[in-house]
Amino acid sequence: MPLKRYGADCALLVVDVQNSFCPGGELAVPGGDEVVPLINHLSLLFENVVLTQDWHPRGHISFASSHPGKQPFQNIDLPYGAQTLWPDHCVAGSHGAAFHAELETERARLIVRKGIHAAVDSYSAFVEADRTTPTGLGGYLNTLGVKKVWLAGLATDFCVAWSAIDARAAGFETFVVEDACRAIDIDGSLADAWMAMRQAGVKRLRSDEV
């Protein structure tokens, strides 16, 4: 095993590498499974590995099926703001919500489940879509003395981007490993996400630069 290059003040945040987002899944991200070997390798370099898991109750507000007459990928307005509607995905306890079978999960010290409230989505691993309800991850990382966070996983333009931007907002130096992520990319969402991450001060790098 290679030497752990990143110690107690660093964390690798592995975002939503779950069956629903991999080929064959309900909300498959193109090439979603391709990140698995890279992430397994990256995780060997980190003392602190945290996984996130999109984890929705049945009938979740982000599901198009919860809104009669609406289709997946349409946008609607909710009390907390705009919401893209998705196919049912990552239903708590389902096969889709489970991690990709080849993702190495043994060394993860924390699994954060998000989107757990029926009426609020959460792309971000830190703060739900109402922009107020914390998941607890920021407090956890601060308590451990983590100062720098690297992100990889799915999807670049949704859960990775929101989590990276919120990591910056919580004061962490933040890096996104671009080739260890894959995007959904609807209506220019990937370009918008990179722009927003850049403006937030998120650093973008490749896995061979980690």
Active site residues: 16, 114, 159
Query: In the complex, what is the shortest distance from the CB of residue 70 to Zn ion, in angstroms, rounded to a whole number?
Result: 16
19, 25 Cβ separation under 8 angstroms: yes
Q: Which residue lies nearer to Zn ion by CB, 46 or 100?
A: 100
Binding site for ligand VGL (CB under 6 A): 16, 21, 54, 86, 123, 154-155, 158-159
158 binds, among ligand VGL, Zn ion, none (CB under 5 to 8 A by kind): ligand VGL
Residues found in the chain? 210
The region of 112-120, 146-154, 161-169, 202-210 touching Zn ion under the rule CB under 5 A is 112-120
- Cβ-defined contacts of 63-67 (< 8 Å, 24+): 63/87, 63/88, 63/89
Q: Which CB atom, from 21 or from 46, has the smaller least distance to ligand VGL?
A: 21
**CA-based nearest residue to 207, from 92, 46, 20, 67:** 46
CB of 154 to ligand VGL, least distance (A): 5
> Are the CB atoms for 39 and 103 separated by under 8 Å?
yes
Tell me the C-alpha distance between 93 and 187, whole Å. 31
Query: What is the nearest approach in angstroms of ligand VGL to the Cβ of residue 114?
Result: 9
Binds Zn ion (CB under 5 A): choice among 15, 28, 35, 54: 54
Residues at the contact surface with Zn ion, assessed by CB under 5 A: 54, 115
